[in-house]
Amino acid sequence: MSEGPFRLEQNGHIVTITHDRGEKSNALTPASMLQLKAMAESLADNGEARAVIFRAEGKHFGAGMDIGGLREAGRGTTPAVQQRRSAELGGRLLRAIREIHQPTICVIQGAATGGAACIATACDFRVGSPDARIGYGEVRLGINLMWHALPLAIQTVGLARAKRMVMTGALFDADTMLDWGFFDSVVAADERDAAALRMAEEFAALPPIAVQMIKRSANAWAGALDQAVMHADADQWLLGTRTDDFGEGIQAFFDKRPGDFSGN
């Protein structure tokens, strides 16, 4: 597997994928996304794996994309045609995670925002600790939620609640996320990995063919129109990065102040 902040470990029938960039709040980069995508796709050839756990080291599960990299997106230094292709990477990553045959369990502590929240919704189940906070902050940067993640948010918490999360960009606490169905359980911080392992062991003890067929059929039914409806979210993102509000949102983030948006 390529070098990067993700590591893959296997113990018997259970695979654990860990994001180990805690010093940067586990922020994602294009290179790390490619590494994670390759790991997810490699599980199709792993006949021994029956359950997969996604987790992260450090205080936060993930801060989403590295904002410094996003700032460059609005400066026009790369041809638009290449920007359009690069913008599809997140969608390809989520599809790779969603298409993992084995049941997937995401363990979340601290903040899971933007792309990290998207990865969590691409998993089948989620275990949180009491300090967990979930949000999609893209709107506060003047851009849309992309990566084909909007349908996953709707499927996870329902239409009105997904609108509230994505349209406000607010962070929602663990109790709210448990009540809304985002979390399957919330456990003490020092118990979250053990809770995910117990769930993984439960699935690993079941007939793998039946479990995996059920998962794939359920996902196919729930997401039958996802690709058709969301094919243009990368184009919407490109439009967003060319607005004055995008530049203001990025600057406000670095200045640690509310944005002053004009609609331009």
- Over residues 225-258, the pLDDT tens digits come to 888 888 888 889 888 998 999 999 999 999 999 9
Give me the DSSP letters along 152-200.
Answer: HHHHHH-HHHHHHHHHH--EEEHHHHHHTTS-SEE--GGGHHHHHHHHH
Q: Judge contact between 145 and 166, C-beta under 8 A.
A: yes
- Over residues 10-51, the pLDDT tens digits come to 999 999 999 999 999 999 999 999 999 999 999 999 999 999
Any domain includes 244 = no
- Over residues 166-214, the pLDDT tens digits come to 999 999 999 999 999 999 999 999 999 999 999 999 999 999 999 999 9
The distance in angstroms from the start CA to the end CA of the chain is: 44
Any domain includes 172 = yes
pLDDT for residue 176: 98
Q: Judge contact between 15 and 49, C-beta under 8 A.
A: yes
Mean predicted confidence (pLDDT) in 52-69: 92
- Over residues 122-139, the pLDDT tens digits come to 999 999 999 999 999 999
For the entire predicted model, the pTM comes to 0.94
pLDDT for residue 72: 63
What residues contact residue 75 under an 8 Å CB cut-off, 6+ apart? none
Any domain includes 52 = yes
Residue numbers of the domain that contains 87: 6-190
Q: How many domains does the chain have?
A: 1
Any domain includes 13 = yes
Proportion of the chain above pLDDT 70, given as a percent: 96
Any domain includes 258 = no
CA atoms of 185 and 55, how far apart (whole Å): 15
Whether the per-residue pLDDT at 73 is higher than 90: the answer is no
Whether the per-residue pLDDT at 94 is higher than 90: the answer is yes
Q: Environment class of residue 89 by beta-carbon count within 10 Å: exposed (0-12), middle (13-18) or buried (19+)?
A: middle
What residues contact residue 257 under an 8 Å CB cut-off, 6+ apart? none
pLDDT for residue 232: 85
Any domain includes 197 = no
Any domain includes 221 = no
Question: Domain holding 31: CATH number?
Answer: 3.90.226.10
Q: If residue 55 lies in a helix (H) or strand (E), which one and from where to where?
A: strand 51-56
Any domain includes 239 = no
Whether the per-residue pLDDT at 74 is higher than 70: the answer is no
